[in-house]
Each structure stands twice: as C-alpha cells, then as structure tokens.
Amino acid sequence: MSTFIERAKVTCALGGAIVTLSALPKAVPIVHASGGCAGTLSGTYNLASGYKGSGYCGGTMIPTSNIVENDIVFGGEERLEEQIINTVKIIDADLYFVVTGCQVEIIGDDAVGVTHRYRNDKAIVLAANTPGFLGDSFKGYEAVLSTIAAELVEKKDVKEKKTITILGIVPGQDVFYRGNIREIERLLSQLGIKANTFFGDGETIEKIRNYGDASLTVVLSENYGIETARVFEQIHQIPYITTDLPIGASRTDAFLHKIGERLGIEPAEIEALLAKERKYYYSYIERILDIYTDLDFQRYAIISADTNYAFPLTSFLADDLGWIPHIVVIHDDIDDLRKKEYELKFKQLGSETKPKVVFELQAGQLLNHVRKSWKYNQNDKYFDALSPTFLVGSSLEASVAQKLGAGFLPVVFPITNRAVLDRGYTGYKGGLTLTEDIISALVSDR
C-alpha cells in the first residue's frame, strides 16, 4: 500500500500525460475530466519546470470536457464526443490524444471506446486511461508513449542498424529535457547513430510514426520508460537496454562505450570521439582551476534527487568535480528490490568515500537525514564539522540549504528560482554547463 507524501515532487498520471503530450511536436491533449485538472496540472509544470510555459497548446488552452456533477451522475461520454469533434475542428494538431481524470474513470466512462468510435481519416486521435489514482506523473508518461508505440508507430520488418530510440527523459519532470536530449543526439550523431527522441528539436509526428525502424531502445533511466520500451520490444521486436543519464565526462564516457559496443561500433572509433570531446571538455574545465583551488571549492555534496538524476549527479560531483559525495536522498516511490539495485550503483564511484544512500518520500525529512548522517557537536573545542557543504536538489530544498549554510543549486524538479530554456546537463557540454552553474552559485554573492 502506498502512503501519504509530504510535498511530492511529482504530479499524478494525468499530469504526466499532459506534460508529455505538450512536449510532443504539435500534439494536443484532450482532457476528459473536471474543469480544473488540465489547467492546474499543466500550470504546475509551466511554472515549476524552470518556467517552461504553456507552449503550443498547454495551460488554459488545453481542450477539456469540463465534467460537472451532472455528468458524474449521468455519464460524460456524450460531452467527450462533442469535445473531440470540436477540438479537431478548431485546433490545428498532428496528433490529438484523449487522456482521463479520476472523476470519469470512477464512474466508468469509456473514453478509449469513444475515441476509437471517432477515428477517421481526417485526424489521428488516440486515447489512454490516465486517472490520478493510477499513480505519479511517470505513469502518465508511460501511458501516453506506450499507446503511441502500440497504435501510432508503424511496424517495420527491416531495422536500421544505427538508429536507436531514446526513452526515460521525462518532459517536465526533467526540467532540462530538451537540452539533455540535444546533447545526447549530438554525441550519437558523431558515431553515425541516429536517435529517435520524441521530444527533441526537429521531431514531428510523421517521424514518430517511423520509429519502428530502430534497432535498439535506450532507456536513460532504471525506472521510467521501461514499460514503453517493452511495448517496442513486443510489438516492434526492438530490444532495449537501460543506462544512466550521462552527466559530465565520466558518465558520458561510460554511456558512449555502452551504446557503441552494443551497436557494434569499432572501439577505436569510440575512443577517438572520447579523446576529441575530452580535449574540448578539459580546455574549459581548465578555466576554473584557479578559482577552485585558490578558494578551496571542494565540497561535501548533499544530493536530493529522483533516480534519474541521483546517481549521475553524484557521479559528476564526485568523479568529475572531485567533491566528497556525502549523502544522497532519493524521493522515488519504488519497491525494495529496485532500491537495493540502485544503491549498488554508487560502488562505481571513483571517490574513496561512498555516500550514504537514503530513500525518503517525505520532503521535510531531508534535514533530519543530513543531521543524522554526521556526529553531533558535543560542545567540543575541536570539532570536525560537516562543512563546507553544497546541496544539489530542487527549489524545495532552498530553505534546507539555508539552514545548513550550504551552497545550493536546484537541478531537479521543481525549479522555481531559475529560468531554463535550452540548457542541458548531459554529455560533455552539459558537464561544462553544470560546472558553470555550480561555480556561479558559489560566487554569486560577490
């Protein structure tokens, strides 16, 4: 049984579905739910995902059936049908996608059935059940993408050896999703690999239709995107692997080796790319050496993140920046087995000190975990304190950083004290950007 959550850093399945659809090229959600769901959930991401905004047809623009009490009593299918017909008439989209809220699922409206009845040549209309009680945003992401994989992506017998599909970077929940995707595409293209990204620059619904020709699905997450990857495996016979989000040089080296080997690319070719990228990377890292060493910018790192970011971020801070990974507090709601597996990742860290890894759903407990992780000062004259510290988390951790006297950079959703456009933290370039942001945070009071 799930438990209550203090300040959950996710929304619900419907929220995840809406933000996923809004991130797809010229796709428009049709929300079958009460009047507030679409605007509220979309609004959460518009603000809390680095002010990403409403976009093409998000926020108050989202078509929705606006179910009221009367529809709860008599059923809302008729209203949905009217809404679908008029949305296609008024809104210009390449893909319409009906998603559902709690109210209509409890009363048993068959939204998927209504949508299927409506299907015709004029427009592509898909549907999935996404009530809030199905779970968190990641569930909505999976529902949308797995429906697209099953019903929109055309079957192809011949696969392109060097085409892969990227999953696991969840729009909105990953504040930097577009920048992150762009750098991964750039790196892969240098090995001659074409990436299907769903959300990247230049994607179209027409291109997504042709994702069936990929030879491999790469899920950049241990927990999210896997359901969709399995649909690609079962329906399109495309196998999948999971890997970590490549943040900075160390993780990107590992990522490119893993993908390259899997696709049968010559090790020498991979090494040549790494050498070229590393040369570039360190020509810029060199710039911070003076300030880093003169002001002793090594820090005890406190990381508060989801599983997509927790290990890659820790690895960047420890392996690239040379910080001491002290404690990692992870807020995903996953089962014990997956927690254990995830913890093992931290053994790979180059740092002699391995961090304490804690799974904690309640946002308010971070400070307690940090305090418990270090001995108390018993009024000793000489006390080896947990200091200097730096906290990488979400904007919700701002006050904890203040209480700890720690440096602070929000990197994980929600982010409300930074604006994010095309910034990304993946790859070598992302590592440089993250370094820039961290050092800027340390000198910003000057």
Find the binding residues for another protein in span 278-297 (CB under 8 A): none
Whichever of 138 and 300 has its CB closer to another protein, that residue is 138
Whichever of 122 and 347 has its CB closer to another protein, that residue is 122
Q: How many alpha carbons fall within 13 Å on the CB side of residue 241?
A: 13
Q: How far is the CB of 64 from another protein (least distance, A)?
A: 5
**Binds another protein by CB under 8 A, chosen from 234, 283, 417, 440:** 417
Residues 309-328 that bind another protein (CB under 8 A): none
Residues 1-20 that bind another protein (CB under 8 A): 1-15
Residues 6+ apart with CB under 8 A from 25: 94, 203, 204, 205, 208
Could you tell me the end-to-end alpha-carbon distance of the chain, in angstroms, rounded to an integer? 49
Q: Binding-site residue total for another protein (CB under 8 A)?
A: 79
61 binds another protein (CB under 8 A): yes
CA distance 355 to 4: 27
Whichever of 10 and 181 has its CB closer to another protein, that residue is 10
Residues 157-196 that bind another protein (CB under 8 A): none
Residues 84-123 that bind another protein (CB under 8 A): 86-87, 89-93, 101-103, 106-107
Residues 360-379 that bind another protein (CB under 8 A): 362, 364
Q: Which long-range contacts (CB under 8 A, 24 or more apart) does 433-439 make?
A: 433/179, 434/247, 434/248, 434/316, 435/285, 435/288, 435/320, 435/321, 437/409, 438/321, 438/390, 438/392, 438/407, 438/409, 439/288, 439/291, 439/292, 439/297
Whichever of 63 and 248 has its CB closer to another protein, that residue is 63
**Binds another protein by CB under 8 A, chosen from 23, 24, 25, 42:** 42
CA distance 421 to 442: 22
Whichever of 133 and 383 has its CB closer to another protein, that residue is 133
Q: Is the dihedral of CA 62, 65, 70, 76 positive or negative?
A: negative
CA distance 119 to 395: 43
Q: How far is the CB of 185 from another protein (least distance, A)?
A: 24
Q: How far is the CB of 33 from another protein (least distance, A)?
A: 9
